[in-house]
Amino acid sequence: MPEKWQKLVKRNNQGYADSQGKIWAAPYQWGTTLIAYRVDKFKTLGWQPTDWSDLWREELRHRFSLLDQPREVIGLTLKKLGKSYNTKNLSKVENLKSELVKLNQQVKYYASNNYLQSLITGDTWLAVGWSNDILPLIKTRTDIAAVIPKSGTALWSNLWVKPAASAETSLTEKWIDFCWKPEIAEQMSLITQTTSPVIPGIKTTELTSEIKDNSLLLPPEDILEKSDFLYPLADSTIEQYRQLWQEIRQPVISSI
């Protein structure tokens, strides 16, 4: 399994990522935060979104939605500024607040549920959302496309965790080993439109074309390298995120 996924599941006793820590879970699916957009609307504009910086373009003012998630919104702005989603001291990031204020003035609304409905109806031209919501949609709609921001994005993963009180070990390990077999991992990825963590470690020549030719299901390696899982933050850092989120959301734009 690639190093990025190994790092994700190794934690110390405080729950923070630690390469020397114990393995606390086994990942079985992962995905990304994407930009979904209306093909017809952007054809009129004469360009297509490729990165987070496009959200600040005047043509998109009040024409897109953002996830109602501080880590996602502040994180994508950090990426625009060349930083990590897991930046620990926000006060040291130059221009972060001013960029967030500008972004807040651009967005039409924030929502983490049903945000694709407005994109489908054309009320918004673009939506920032999660790949497990977006990929099934674009398989059935030719008027909506998606892109992984080239400067990197947030990664999420679904994990298996064995209860501490469970005495069964062999059956659990057999199930994980089964799901991590390359041929099973491919089938699960195609059926669920999420990606198995073993897929990036398989040679592309050995992958089915439905996966290796789908850059949304299997992002290019250079983009993956620039992307981040959202790791737990210290309480002091969480407070910085909370305070900054409250400041930039004034005046408040209602969620739906």
pLDDT band at 254; cut points 50, 70, 90: very low
Reply yes or no: is the peptide bond before residue 70 cis, omega within 30 of 0.
no
Q: Give residues with Cβ within 8 angstroms of 232, minimum separation 6.
A: 15, 16, 17
**pLDDT for residue 253:** 47
Half-sphere exposure of 215 toward its Cβ, with a 13 Å CA cutoff? Answer: 11
Parts of the chain belonging to CATH 3.40.190.10: 31-154
In the chain, the N- to C-terminal Cα span, in Å, equals 39
**pLDDT for residue 252:** 44
Instruction: Enter the tokens of residue 236.
Output: 């002091």
Residue 255, pLDDT > 50, answer no
User: pLDDT by residue (tens digit) across 76-92?
Assistant: 999 999 999 999 999 99
Residue with tokens 């900054």: 244
d(CA 28, CA 179): 8
Q: Which of 130, 164, 179 is nearest to 28 (CA)?
A: 179
User: pLDDT by residue (tens digit) across 194-236?
Assistant: 999 999 888 888 999 999 999 999 999 999 999 999 999 999 9
Q: Which residue has better confidence, 254 or 84?
A: 84
Mean pLDDT value across the chain: 91
Contact 63, 126 (CB under 8 A): yes
User: pLDDT by residue (tens digit) across 141-168?
Assistant: 999 999 999 999 999 999 988 776 665 6
CATH of 31-154, one of 3.40.50.2000, 1.10.1040.10, 3.40.190.10, 3.40.50.720: 3.40.190.10
d(CA 154, CA 86): 10
